[in-house]
A and B are shown apart, each in its own frame.
Chain A
Amino acid sequence: MTSRYEPETLELGDASPEALYELFEKRHWGDGLPLVPPTRERVDAMLELAAGEPDEVLATLLPRAGVVTRRVVAINAVLAGCPPAVFPVVLSAVRALARPEVNLRGVNATTHPVAPLVIVHGEIAARAGFHAGVGAFGPGNRANATTGRAVRLLLLHVAGARPGFGDAATHGQPAKYSYCVAENLAECPWEGYAASRGVDAPSAVTVFCGEGPHNIHDAEAAGDPALILDKIASAMTSLGANNAPISQAEFFVALGPEHAQSLAVRGLTRPDVASYLYEHARMPARVFRRHFEELAWAEWMKIADDDDLLPMTGHPDNVRVFVAGGPGKHSLLMPSWGMTRSATVPVEG
């Protein structure tokens, strides 16, 4: 039986931006930034992009186990300032976050500064105004900024990820305000990321719960594109990242288009890039063992001799490569929180 949930409403005598801002602050709602009032008219406009019944319970978000309906998502999308065209992306991202392999209970509650990165793939990116080029991670683009913010508001309001209560992040991080980017498919020398993961849909969304981006600059002065990958591997080889003790943890690599092209013209495929990074981001087993009392490693890693070089992740497929950004010789690396897996899902209303 399909269950339903109808959100509560409130009559505001004063609907000024200042009054709403104050109300939300008083009730410990919101992300600290100004909000757009979620009136019936605005929420209904958002729901025009929904494909199903607005009050159908679609999922729950942990740790609070708040219920997700299309209307609940629309309310928070309005609050975030989303244009209605992005609503299916927000909804699909939330559906993805509710999947068990994401381990949202841990993602939200941990002291680690993890934030879900939302990556938008396919034709909805251009149609809804998402940005994949120069400065794609922000600021400045409404679709990217508000979609990431809407996801965060849903984590705060529905999942209960309130700092100090449902979210224990020691420091938090700026990506917890908004963390959304579109894949630069136009300048990707390979098939799109979603297709590479077996998601055959016109539009798709990936969610990956990890750190904020770490920059890798290789100006290609040496004329050897392999040096791009050596620098990424160097950044991956960090004892400070949760990938070190947790072998199932993924790395996401956002190659700048110029780096991607340089690698592709040398004949490297996306799996080649992942394999190279898997082979070159390594440390002796003894170093891992010295630093971590508990190692959540694949069984085969546990039998390594102390001098064996072990990879920073347990399988080449855990190195996930997509293209984003504009001109310039930069790429980005995002390590994982660890006990989580990314999810790529078709965009559905």
Chain B
Amino acid sequence: MSATTIYLPESAPGPPPASLAASPASLAGLRIAVLDNGKPNAAVVMARAAETLAARVGAEVSLVIKKGPGGRSANAAIPCAEDVFARVVEEADLVLTGAADCGSCTAYSVQDSIELEKAGRPAVVVTTTKFRPIAETLSGHFGLPGVRLLVLPHPLGGTPVPTLHAWADAATDRLIALFTKGG
């Protein structure tokens, strides 16, 4: 039987490759921003994680802001507003962004983090166990397979605040590693 030639159905991915921003050796004295996409409990868990981290390493939480225009609102299914992005870059050295606990919000949290890394700001995407595969796949699709991911338990929405705070407090060592070593 002679061989048959078929075309493969996939085409080459086309995004330009990106790389992580330089990771600082120490977090002491640095400014941390929380970029909130408005998902339920995103700000609760990310702000707590940032505050606990800052207290441990001698940093400060300089900004907690929603990602929509003027920081007045947030829409998780579109990119960070330009004015908010500029403010985060201006007022912070490190960024927590998310929550990446759904599909489109994971896509745009990862995208926002890549843009922040390109702007020289190490950015950790706060995701959950159930959305880690999506976050990892999309970071590769967007040209930066090694996006810094903090993986928390799932779900964030509907989880009591004391539990969220406990998850955030338990994340400090991982955040230090993510910001200083990239992973």
Q: Which of A13, A60, A160, A339 contacts B137 (CB 8 A)?
A: A160
Q: Which residue of B lies closest to A302 (CB)?
A: B73
Q: Which residue of B lies closest to A12 (CB)?
A: B4
**Residues of chain B lying within 8 A (CB to CB) of residue A334:** none
Whole-angstrom distance from the CB of A258 to the nearest CB of chain B? 37
Whether B8 contacts A9 by the Cβ 8 Å rule is yes
Q: Which residue of B lies closest to A40 (CB)?
A: B5
Contacts A160-B137, A160-B141, A294-B38; is A110 near B5 (CB within 8 Å)?
no
Contacts A12-B3, A65-B15, A105-B108; is A157 near B137 (CB within 8 Å)?
no
- Within A154-172, the residues touching B (CB, 8 Å) are 157-158, 160, 162, 164-169
Whether B12 contacts A67 by the Cβ 8 Å rule is yes
**Residues of chain B lying within 8 A (CB to CB) of residue A162:** 137
Hey, what's the 0/1 contact readout for B101-113 against A, CB within 8 Å counting as 1?
0111011100100
How many Å lie between the Cα of A103 and that of B105 in the bound state?
13
Contacts A64-B141, A65-B15, A111-B103; is A9 near B111 (CB within 8 Å)?
no
Whether A166 contacts B77 by the Cβ 8 Å rule is no
- Within B139-156, the residues touching A (CB, 8 Å) are 141-143
How many Å lie between the Cα of A154 and that of B57 in the bound state?
48
Whether B141 contacts A65 by the Cβ 8 Å rule is yes
A7 at the interface (CB under 8 A from B): yes
Q: Which of B5, B73, B103 contacts A169 (CB 8 A)?
A: B103
**Residues of chain A lying within 8 A (CB to CB) of residue B142:** 63, 65
Of the stretches A68-76, A115-123, A267-275, A325-333, the one at the interface is: A68-76
Contacts A111-B102, A293-B40; is A64 near B13 (CB within 8 Å)?
yes
Whether A9 contacts B73 by the Cβ 8 Å rule is no
Q: Which residue of A lies closest to B3 (CB)?
A: A11
How many Å lie between the Cα of A38 and that of B9 in the bound state?
8
**Residues of chain B lying within 8 A (CB to CB) of residue A20:** 6
Whether B9 contacts A109 by the Cβ 8 Å rule is no
Whether A76 contacts B9 by the Cβ 8 Å rule is yes
B131 at the interface (CB under 8 A from A): yes
Question: Which of A9, A29, A153, A294 has the most B CB atoms < 10 Å from its CB?
Answer: A294
Whether A63 contacts B107 by the Cβ 8 Å rule is yes
Q: Which residue of A lies closest to B38 (CB)?
A: A294
A338 at the interface (CB under 8 A from B): yes
Q: Which residue of B lies closest to A38 (CB)?
A: B7
Q: Which residue of A lies closest to B16 (CB)?
A: A65
B78 at the interface (CB under 8 A from A): yes
B99 at the interface (CB under 8 A from A): no
**Residues of chain B lying within 8 A (CB to CB) of residue A339:** 75, 77-78, 104
A296 at the interface (CB under 8 A from B): yes
Whether B107 contacts A39 by the Cβ 8 Å rule is no
**Residues of chain A lying within 8 A (CB to CB) of residue B106:** 109, 168
Whether B77 contacts A110 by the Cβ 8 Å rule is yes
How many Å lie between the Cα of A22 and that of B134 in the bound state?
25
Whether B134 contacts A164 by the Cβ 8 Å rule is yes
Contacts A67-B12, A109-B134, A165-B137; is A9 near B75 (CB within 8 Å)?
no
How many Å lie between the Cα of A112 and that of B103 in the bound state?
8
B138 at the interface (CB under 8 A from A): yes
Q: Which residue of A lies closest to B136 (CB)?
A: A165
**Residues of chain A lying within 8 A (CB to CB) of residue B15:** 60, 65
Whether A157 contacts B134 by the Cβ 8 Å rule is no
Q: Which of A67, A76, A103, A157 contacts B77 (CB 8 A)?
A: A103
Whether A66 contacts B11 by the Cβ 8 Å rule is yes
B14 at the interface (CB under 8 A from A): yes
- Within A83-121, the residues touching B (CB, 8 Å) are 103, 105-107, 109-112
How many Å lie between the Cα of A319 and that of B142 in the bound state?
34
Q: Which of B1, B11, B141, B143 contacts A72 (CB 8 A)?
A: B11
**Residues of chain B lying within 8 A (CB to CB) of residue A157:** 9-11
Whole-angstrom distance from the CB of A291 to the nearest CB of chain B? 12
Task: Identify 15 residue pairs between A and B in the complex whose beta-carbon atoms are under 8 Å apart, listed by A's number.
Answer: A13-B3, A15-B4, A38-B6, A39-B5, A43-B7, A63-B142, A65-B14, A66-B14, A79-B9, A105-B111, A106-B77, A110-B104, A157-B10, A165-B133, A168-B102
- Give me the 3 closest cross-chain CB pairs, A-B, nearest first: A168-B103, A15-B4, A109-B107
Contacts A60-B15, A62-B141, A69-B11 known; 13 new A-B pairs at CB < 8 A: A5-B11, A7-B7, A10-B5, A14-B1, A15-B4, A29-B9, A65-B15, A71-B7, A105-B108, A105-B111, A160-B141, A166-B134, A296-B75
Taking Cβ atoms with an 8 Å cutoff, the residues of A that contact B are 5, 7-15, 20, 29-30, 37-40, 43, 57, 60, 62-69, 71-72, 75-76, 79, 103, 105-107, 109-112, 153, 157-158, 160, 162, 164-169, 293-296, 338-339
Taking Cβ atoms with an 8 Å cutoff, the residues of B that contact A are 1, 3-15, 38, 40, 73-75, 77-78, 102-104, 106-108, 111, 131, 133-134, 137-138, 141-143
